[in-house]
Each structure stands twice: as C-alpha cells, then as structure tokens.
Structure 1
Amino acid sequence: MAQVVVGRIVRPHGLKGEVVVEVRTDDPEARFQPGVQYSTKNGPMTAATVRWHQGRPMIGFEGVTDRNASELLRGIRLSVEIDEDEDADDEDAFRDEHLLGLKVIDREAGEVGTVSRIDHGAAYETLVVKRQGRGPALIPFVADMVEEVDTETGTIKVDLPPGLLDL
C-alpha cells in the first residue's frame, strides 16, 4: 500500500465550510465521494459531502462547518492509500514521485536538467526542470513532447519545439 496525493485544497467556497479541490488523480469520481477518508498533514479528514462545479469537486468535510474553518485548509494535500499494483497495468501512468529527480534529455539540445517539481494544470501536467545557471524550464508533460520515460535509467527523453527552452 502507498499514500498517493489525489487533490489539493485550493480555497473555501461559500459560507458553510465547503472547499474547492484541485484534482490530481485520473479517477476523480472514485477518489472524491462522501465518506472517503483522506490523509493530510493535519491528520485524517473525511468527506461529508461532494458535489461538482466547473469540473472540480467541492467538498464539505466532517467538522468543518463555516468559512473561517475552511479558510485554514488552503493548500492542504489530500492523500489516499492505494494498492501498489493498482496503477501497474497502465505503463503510461506516472505519479509525481516517479518523475522527481529524473534527467530530461532533449533530442536536439541534449541534457536540459532535472525534474524538480510537477505542476498540475487543468489540461495537463507541467514538468518544472531545474537547469544549471539558468531559470527553470517548463515542459508540458504531453505525448507530443515526451517520447520516453525510463525510470530504470532515470531519464525522460523529449522532443521539444524550437524556442520552448528560451521562454
């Protein structure tokens, strides 16, 4: 069993303690249900209510009954325990911890740097790559640019469009 981050609390919504959650899972309908218990840095939290608005879950947690209490939850990551083999069937599925620290190598430019963070957006994830002597490179983690992820050798091979690394 492993703890996997499935969401991050973005902000409060309304006056009754609900929060808006940024989804970080490929199975949000299963991960965000009333009764699901999440592990957080503040201890376990249980979803009392879940409703969807503009593609995001809005969750009311047990014991959080007003906006002041929900305001204190900003930025908290919600984790669930999953079976290690649960995502083994999908060879294209990578969790953040699989990608952090891997070297990014571009077909044309050679070694770009090392993955230091993954930003989760609405449409796709973005690799934040730490580069020597330069600011970070932001590389969309999409099939059009990422050719291969090899966790055995610790590399991600990419084919980036001209100019992307200059942004």
Structure 2
Amino acid sequence: MPSPEPARTQLRVGRLVKAHGLKGALKLELYTDEPDRRFAPGAAFTLQVPDTSPWSGKTVTVREFRWMNSHPVVFLEGIDDRTAAESIVRAILWIDADPDAPAEDEAWYDHQLVGLRVFRGDDEVGSVVRVDHLPAQDLLIVRPAGTDTEVLVPFVKAIVPLVDIGAGRVEVTPPPGLFEAVPDDAPPAADH
C-alpha cells in the first residue's frame, strides 16, 4: 500500500497589484523579506483567485523580476501585454514552502498560529482558530474562551505586537470594542 503524500505547507509571498506598462509587467505587493530570491526567474506560484476567474486552478512562472522606481515589478510567462496583465490583477501568489529553509523574520505558517492562546496584557482573551488571508491584510480569527463567537483581529504589528510560537502565545493591543462591547456613553475616539 503506498504511503499517503505529506501535507504541503504553502507560504504567501505576494499580491499582483496592477498592470504596469504595455508589455505585461505587474506591480507587486510583497509579503516576503527576500523578494529577489522568491521571484527569481523560473519560480512558480499557485494563484489565489476567485473560482470564477479564468486563472482559477492555474499556476504562473516568473520570467523576470526587477525594481522600477523602487517598486517591485514581475513579468510572468504567458502574460505578454497589458490586457493579459489586467486579467490577473489582485491574485495572491503562494509557493510550496521548503521545510528545511530558514524561516523569515516575523513570518509564520498558519498551522503555527492556530491554537495559540491570545493575551491582552496578563489576561487571556481566547485562542487563534484560523488565519484568513485577505487582499488588504491577514486576519487572526480568535475565539474568546467559553464562546462560539469569533473576533476578527487585523494581523498588523500595531494590534498584534508579539507572536511567540515557543511560548504558545500571541499578545494583542486591540482598539476598544474589539473584544467587548463599548458602552453607549463612551467618548468618541480622538481623531489623529
């Protein structure tokens, strides 16, 4: 009997933001600290796109990666003009992670985050039940202890200043009302 294939771990490394020029170039939003290595010619990516997209279920391969006016730009095989580039805008790029490669700073796999206990100061407020990857930012989905509700926590440094995989904890500094109801007589938040 053949042994089952091991589960693949994927790492999100970028999002195609917009078409650039007439020859199929695409500006990138990077989710990696090593863009020159991740986007080397020949690198292949799995696409996260809506099921209705003509790119659904397909992969793309890097033809060329360069910096233009301090912006990362990628050329993909088979995308040779602006029309083709515009058809793939907003796709999120994923790669199969090499389990033996050193981890990037402040980069975690979803399976490392799920199950971590979430603390606000010294108070445990719940645990991470999943991670949602949205075009604008990632969200930690936290289930407060003893409830069936879910709290969507923006996974940004200002709100999640510490992730300690070894200690099994995430520290959050949420705005008022994220984990509890804000009283009706609460003063409005100050504009910055």
TM over 0.5: yes
Cα distance, 1:112 vs structure 2: 5.2
> Match of 1:69, SS?
helix
- Check if 1:24 corresponds to 2:31: yes
Aligned residue among 87, 94, 107 for 1:79: 94
Q: Compute the displacement of 1:111 (Å).
A: 0.3
User: Aligned partners of 1:26 and 1:11: how far apart in 2?
Assistant: 21
Larger of the two Rg values belongs to structure: 2
Unaligned runs of 5+ in 1: none
Instruction: Give the TM-score, by structure 2 length.
Output: 0.62
1:67-146 map, 5 Å = 67-87=82-102, 93-100=107-114, 102-111=116-125, 114=128, 116-117=131-132, 127-130=139-142, 136-138=152-154, 140-141=156-157, 145-146=161-162
User: Which 10-residue stretch deviates more, 132-141 or 74-83?
Assistant: 132-141
Q: Is the deviation greater in 110-119 or in 32-41?
A: 110-119
Q: Which has the higher strand share?
A: 1
Change (3 A) 1:16 1:97: farther
- TM-score of the pair, normalised by structure 1: 0.69
The aligned residue for residue 66 of structure 1 is 81
Identical aligned pairs, as a percentage? 26
In structure 2, the CA distance between the partners of 1:86 and 1:134, relative to structure 1 (3 Å rule), is closer
Give the Cα separation in 2 of the matches to 1:13 and 1:105: 43
- CA spacing shift, 1:102–1:120, aligned 2, 3 Å: farther
* C-alpha RMSD of matched pairs (Å): 3.6
Residue 9 in 1 paired to residue 16 in 2?
A: yes
